[in-house]
Structure 1
Amino acid sequence: MKTVKDYIRTIPDFPHAGIQFRDVTTLFADPRGLRLAIDQLLDPFVGQRIDKVVGLEARGFILGGAIAHQLSIGFVPVRKKGKLPGAVIGESYTLEYGAAEVEIHDDAIAPGERVLIVDDLLATGGTAEAGIKLVRRLGGEIAGCAFVIDLPELGGRKRLADMGMNVHALCAFEGA
């Protein structure tokens, strides 16, 4: 029986030499693989109250939309700065070389709503941390964070756990 990890393609030296890019598009393209990933991402949260799914740009939109549909709840995107129309709040975070900012609509989460944060990959945890901070600033509570892939050597899981997050990942790959 195939696991989620079996559906993920590795592309060497992308986007730079020495990087092993974990490509989830092969997982998304396979109906069994996609169903398996959605079901397993949801599994630890079954029976919990979740009011919204927050997907982190960009592959978190695909997963988050499918999970929101499965739960019959709303989906909220956290996007790169300047991509959302209307009133937003933003959160900066550091990258390996510089900084970036993500935004969320200022009315996307109501105080007290329980939110599941979803993305394809947990590396350093910077984007997820920014998303968590945005949800908290709006008064939302985080039910957990769900990822397809964890890159443990980059420390993202510890970073989010140190924030009190329940972190769930379907598989892990060694190296960056």
Structure 2
Amino acid sequence: MDLKDHIRGIPDFPKPGILFYDVSPLLAHGPAWKTAIDRLADAVRPHRPDVLVGIESRGFLVAAPLALALGIGFVMVRKRGKLPGDTVAHSYDLEYGTDTIEVQSDAVKPGQRVVVLDDLLATGGTMAAAVTLLRRIGADVRAAAFLVELTFLNGRDKLDVPSLSLMAYDS
């Protein structure tokens, strides 16, 4: 099955000149979504994760069912102020400003093997920040995985872990 048949390009979203790669049709098509999760499981399994981490919010849609398929736990990395209890924060630079992400301080035990997931790899800044944050709480980050990668933005260059993508777009 060609999963790209289930990715929709939406021009000029969220602003003029941007082509948005929408994974919603993939999520809505049961057989394609199952194929995507099965392929991600095959790609992630060799890294032997103890837990998967999803980045808010579309990363949750990928990491949670994948964790279920692999029989392991799922942890959320969220924007500041969205998680209860004791959290650890990491601020990072964006193209136009800064952002902060958080994880619950006890969500990953020191030394646990982790694979971090998001729906799409663009410039890599948020994923690199998540990897840094997870290492601060003791995670052994083994890889980053995505449904879609926009290779022309060179996001994987910001990552110091193996990067796995089911689909790549060169422009």
Distance 1:169 1:47 in 2: 15
Select 2:166's aligned residue among 159, 164, 170.
170
Partner Cα separation in structure 2 for residue 6 and residue 143 of structure 1: 30
Residue identity opposite 2:104 in structure 1:
H
CA displacement 1:42-93 (0-9 Å, x = unmatched): 2123344211000001111011000110111111000011111111011112
Hey, what does 1:49 align to over in structure 2? 48
- 2:73 is aligned with 1:74: yes
Deviation track 1:16-60 (CA, whole Å, cap 9, x = no partner) reads: 111100000111011111111111112123344211000001111
Q: CA deviation at 1:135?
A: 1.2
- Supply the distance in 1 between the matched residues of 2:127 and 2:9 (Cα, whole angstroms): 23
Count of paired positions: 171
Q: Which residue type is aligned with residue 111 of structure 1? A: P
Gaps of 5+ in 2: none
Contact 2:114 2:141 in 1 (8 A): yes
Deviation of 1:149 after TM superposition, in Å, equals 0.8
Q: What is the aligned-residue RMSD (CA, Å)?
A: 1.1
Residue 173 of structure 1 aligns with an amino acid whose one-letter code is Y
The structural deviation recorded for 1:95 is: 1.4
Counterpart contact for 2:26–2:33, Cα < 8 Å? yes
Q: Check conservation: 2:147, 2:166, Cα contact below 8 A.
A: yes
User: What is the TM-score normalised by the length of structure 1?
Assistant: 0.93
- Matched letter for residue 92 of structure 1: S
Aligned equivalent of 1:130: 129
Aligned to 1:61: 60
Contact kept in structure 1, 2:123 and 2:154, CA below 8 Å: yes
Question: Secondary structure of the equivalent of 1:117?
Answer: strand
Q: What's the offset of the Cα at 1:130?
A: 1.0
1-side partners of 2:47 and 2:167: how far apart? 23
Going from structure 1 to structure 2, the CA distance change for 1:174 and 1:107 (only over 3 Å counts) comes to same
- Kept in 1: contact 2:59–2:117 (CA 8 A): yes
Residues 80 and 100, structure 2, Cα contact 8 Å, conserved in 1 = yes
TM-score where L is the length of structure 2: 0.96
